[in-house]
Structure 1
Amino acid sequence: MTADRKELAALSPEERQAVILEKVNAAGRVLAAGLAQEFGVSEDSIRRDLRDLSDAGLVQRFHGGAARLVTPALDFHRREALHAEEKQSIGRAAAAPIPDGATLLVDSSTTVVRFVRALSPALSLRIITTAVDVAAAALDHPLAEVVMLGGRLGRLTRSATGAGAIDAIRALRVDYCVLGTCGIDHGLTLRADDFEDAHLKSAMIRAANKTLLLATADKLGQAATYEVAPIAAVSALFTSSRDTAILKAIREAGVDVETV
């Protein structure tokens, strides 16, 4: 082992992650196998490093490596403060048609938190979620049974992710899935910034009789790295967008659209 490699192998995980982040930002992308060889550590160690950097919103993971973010993702609390009035209006509109006795499967989204807070307190509901903030909001509902699905918590999404969470979702059959989205691209595909979040959302859609999608205006026409599902998998879209062209295309795909 060369002197340089010995120095790299002696780094703590935090120090190694700082070096990896510099490499990602300089090169645009890195591969786990190459990093493992360079640092003299196992690929499992590098994968954990890339996962931690991704959870912190600093890189974008892909199978076998990671890439530089075009724009660093905002953390949950900073996102919660953006477009607050739009999110409130969208949440109220999406909550209005929910019937008594419904079982809801709810993902991690600042707009979806507004939806949960807007649910009528007179309704008896079961709310199932992977998201810490959604569960906390649901606990304030006087008649809701709240079920929290477990898994590894992502710092960026503040939601359980991974195989355990997805397996739990696959065992469910619910009335409604309620989702936020990182974007609906011009090909009318739902997109996500996080690989594991994309798989989680996709599993939620398949577990539900109906899927309600909540999206602020900036999300329509917005691309993100990972595919979740075609827009036709959604039953209804609640949005503040006034983009007539993309809304027309979404309606033509068979989705009910309500603008607020």
Structure 2
Amino acid sequence: MLASQRKQLILGILAKEKQVQSTELSQRFAISEDSIRRDLRELAAEGLLQRVHGGALPVSAAIAPLAARKSVQINSKRRIAKKAVQLIQPGQVIIIDGGTTTAEMLKLLPEDLSCTVVTHSPGIAVGLIDYPAIEVILIGGKLFKHSMVTMGASMIESIARINADIFFMGVTGVHRKAGLTTGNYEEASVKRAICERAAETVVMASQEKLNSASPFVIGDLTLASTLVIEDVIDTDLADYLKSKHIAVL
């Protein structure tokens, strides 16, 4: 079998089973694990999968540049945002992450909603200008242009002074084993820090993020108290979320 044919079969197995293991693939194709690892390295270099210890996971499409992400699963993001908005109560202190899904939330907020929104996203802050009853606190720091959010020591120091009711967190991958992931190391650290400042963390995940992974781990799925999705999820992931008492909306 040609290496190119084997790679296509590996991608097919990955799409069906949501993960592959080097040892198992070696036995399946009757070749050495070194050959399998080379295949996985080359597929990862092409952006077709995410390598992890012992194998690989589906790669998230949500790590593309911001301009490209705006057109990915847009209808799904709108439906998810509509569900997420229902979790907001007047008078709450809410932290809203940057991202294309959270941006869709702003369009659905009641015009008379009275609450406080804390964000490290200039785009989110500007999007709330026309809501007179919403107090906006913009957390400053070094701007990470890929996601249009601030990061760094000053941002972490400022967020440590906030006690919020809900954090609406954006991620690029949601996977039972890999957990919640994103495409930047420092951004993952920032998201973890914000989680610690909120009573509840709500993760909004459009379809391309489910059962996929990115290079940097935010944390286990248990960081989230609620996962907001568009449609039903596979049995393995659903059972895991239920066992960890993570609500699915």
TM-score in terms of structure 1 length: 0.69
Alpha-carbon distance, 1:195 to partner: 0.8
User: For 2:112, what is the secondary structure of its paired residue?
Assistant: coil
Specify which of 171, 185, 194 is matched with residue 184 of structure 2: 194
Aligned pair partner of 1:174 in 164, 175, 184: 164
SS in 1 for 2:107: helix
Spell out, residue by residue over 1:151-177, the C-alpha distance to the aligned partner (whole angstroms, 9 max, x if none).
110110111011111111112111111
For 2:225 and 2:102, locate their aligned partners in 1 and report how far apart those are by CA, in whole Å.
16
- The one-letter amino acid of 2:154's match is G
Rounded to whole Å, the distance in 1 between the matches of 2:220 and 2:63 is 23
Question: SS state of the match for residue 99, structure 1?
Answer: coil
**Residue of structure 1 in register with 2:69 after alignment:** 79
Asked whether the equivalents of residues 91 and 114 of structure 1 are also in contact (C-alpha less than 8 Å), the reply is yes
What SS class does the counterpart of residue 118 from structure 1 fall into? Answer: coil
* Partners of 2:205 and 2:229 in 1: CA distance: 5
Stretches (4+) displaced over 6 A: 69-72
1:153 alignment partner in structure 2: 143
In the alignment, structure 1 residue 103 sits paired with structure 2 residue 84: no
Alignment-mate amino acid for residue 257 of structure 1: V
Matched, 1:255 2:246: yes
Q: Is the 8 A contact 2:203 2:224 kept in 1?
A: yes
Unpaired segments of 5 or more residues in structure 2?
Answer: 1-40, 42-58
Runs (5+) with no aligned partner, structure 1: 1-27, 29-68
Determine if contact 2:113/2:131 at 8 Å carries over to the other structure: no
RMSD: 2.0
Aligned partner (choices 207, 228, 236) of residue 238 of structure 1: 228
Percent of counterpart pairs with the same letter? 22
CA distance in 1: counterparts of 2:88 and 2:156, whole angstroms = 25
1:228 is aligned, of 218, 223, 236, to 218
2:143 corresponds to which letter in structure 1?
A: L
How far residue 234 of structure 1 moved from its aligned partner, in angstroms, is 1.0
Read off the aligned partner of 1:221 and give its amino acid letter.
N
SS at match of 2:135: strand
Check the 8 A contact 1:95/1:118 in 2, yes or no: yes
Residues 173 and 201 (structure 1 numbering): CA distance in 2 closer, same or farther, change over 3 Å? same
Return the match for 2:113 from 123, 127, 147.
123
Q: Give the secondary structure class of the aligned counterpart of 1:127.
A: strand
Letter in 2 for 1:205: C
DSSP-derived class of the 1:81 partner: coil
Q: Deviations over 1:107-163 (max 9, x none)?
A: 111101112222222220111101122112122323111111101101101110111
Residue 163 (structure 1) aligns with: 153
Larger RCO (alpha carbons 8 Å, 6+ apart): 2
